[in-house]
Chain A
C-alpha cells in the first residue's frame, strides 16, 4: 500500500515552545490530508482536514491558532503545536488520501508522540 511518513516519531519539549510535525506522502500525491489526535486506549479524534493550497478545516472545539496546519504541496502537510502546554501531550497521527483515488482509502502515518514538560 501507499506510504505516509510522519516525523518526528517522538518529541519532548518544554512548556511554551512550539513543535512542528511533518506528514509526507512518499509515493503518491495527496490533495487532502487529515490530522488526528489519540489519547491512550482511545479512538482517533479528527482535528482538522488539510487541503493543499487552501486553509485547513478544523473540527469543532479545535483551536486553529493553537494547532497550525499548512499543506503547501501535494506531498507535505505540517502541524505546528504553538505554545505547547502539558495538556497538549498526546499521540498525533496524520493520514492522506491519494489524489484522484476513488476507493476512499486513507493511509496513515506512524504517529508522533508529543510530550510537553
Chain B
C-alpha cells in the first residue's frame, strides 16, 4: 500500500532528447508527489512537485504529468542536457508527519 514503483531503472538519452520517467502508486491517500534529483555523493534536491487536483505542472524544461484514475505520474525532461545526468526519485507523501515514500530511482545519462 505504501509502495511507489518507478521505471525505468536506468535511462540513456541523447542531448536534446526527451527523458521520461514513470511512477505508479497504490495508496490513494497520497496527496503530494515530488520529484527529486540526486547527484553522486549529494543529498536529493527537490525538482518539481504536484498535487492530485492538477493533471500537469511545468517548470522550465521539467513537466510532471499526473493521472489520478490510473494512479500514475511521470516526469518529462525536455531538451535533455548532459548536466541533467543524475539519479531521479519520485516520491509520495501521506499522513500528518509528511514522511516520504520514495521510488527506487532512475539513473539518467544524457549523452553529449
Contact = CB atoms under 8 A, between A and B. Distances in A.
Given A32-B97, A97-B98, A43 B89 contact: yes
A24 interface: no
Interface string A1-45: 100101000000000000000000000000010100000011110
A109 B104 contact: no
A9 to B, nearest CB: 8
Given A32-B97, A42-B105, A43-B104, A104 B41 contact: no
Contacts of A4: 43
A54 interface: no
Nearest to B31: A104
Interface residues of B, number: 22
A105 B103 CA distance: 17
B99 A34 contact: yes
Q: Which of B34, B41, B43, B99 gathers the greatest number of chain A CB atoms within 10 Å?
A: B43
Interface centre among B31, B89, B98, B102 (most CB of A within 10 A): B98
Interface centre among B32, B45, B99, B107, by most chain A C-beta atoms within 10 angstroms, is B99
Contact of A108 (B31, B32, B43, B104): B43
B100 interface: yes
Interface of A: 1, 4, 6, 32, 34, 41-44, 46, 49, 57, 91, 93, 95, 97, 103-111, 113
